[in-house]
Amino acid sequence: MNKLASRYQWLLTSILFFVILAIYLCIGSVSIPLHDVAGLFLGYLTHGSQYAAEHYPLANAIIAHIRLPRACAAILAGGALALAGACSQGLFKNPLASPDILGISAGSSFAAIVAIVTGISASSLGGLPLFTTMGALASAALVYLLATKSAQQGLFIILAGLAVSSLLGGLTMGVLLTAQQYEVSEFVFWTMGGLDSRIWQQLLWPTPIILIAAVILLRHGQILNLLALGEQNAHGMGVNVKRSRLLLLGLTTLLTAMAIAVAGPIGFIGLIVPHLVRLVLGPDNRRLLPFSAVFGALFLLLCDLLARTVIAPNELKTGIITAVIGGIYFIVLLIRSQYKGITQ
Contact in structure between 52 and 267 (CB atoms under 8 Å): no
Q: What pTM was computed for the model?
A: 0.91
Q: Which of 282, 266, 280, 290 is nearest to 79 (CA)?
A: 290
Residue 64 DSSP code: I
Q: Check the CA dihedral 141-142-148-149 and report its sign.
A: positive
- ∠ CA 232-236-240, rounded to 5°: 80
DSSP state of 152: S
Closest CA relative to residue 79, chosen from 134, 26, 17: 17
Tens of pLDDT, residue by residue, the chain (344 residues) = 567 778 889 999 999 999 999 999 999 888 999 999 999 999 999 988 888 889 999 999 999 999 999 999 999 999 999 999 999 888 888 777 777 777 888 898 899 899 889 888 777 777 788 888 889 889 988 888 887 766 566 667 778 888 999 999 999 999 999 888 888 998 988 888 889 888 898 898 899 999 999 999 999 999 999 988 887 888 888 888 888 888 998 899 899 989 998 998 888 899 899 989 998 998 899 999 999 999 999 999 999 999 999 887 888 999 999 999 988 988 887 788 777 655 45
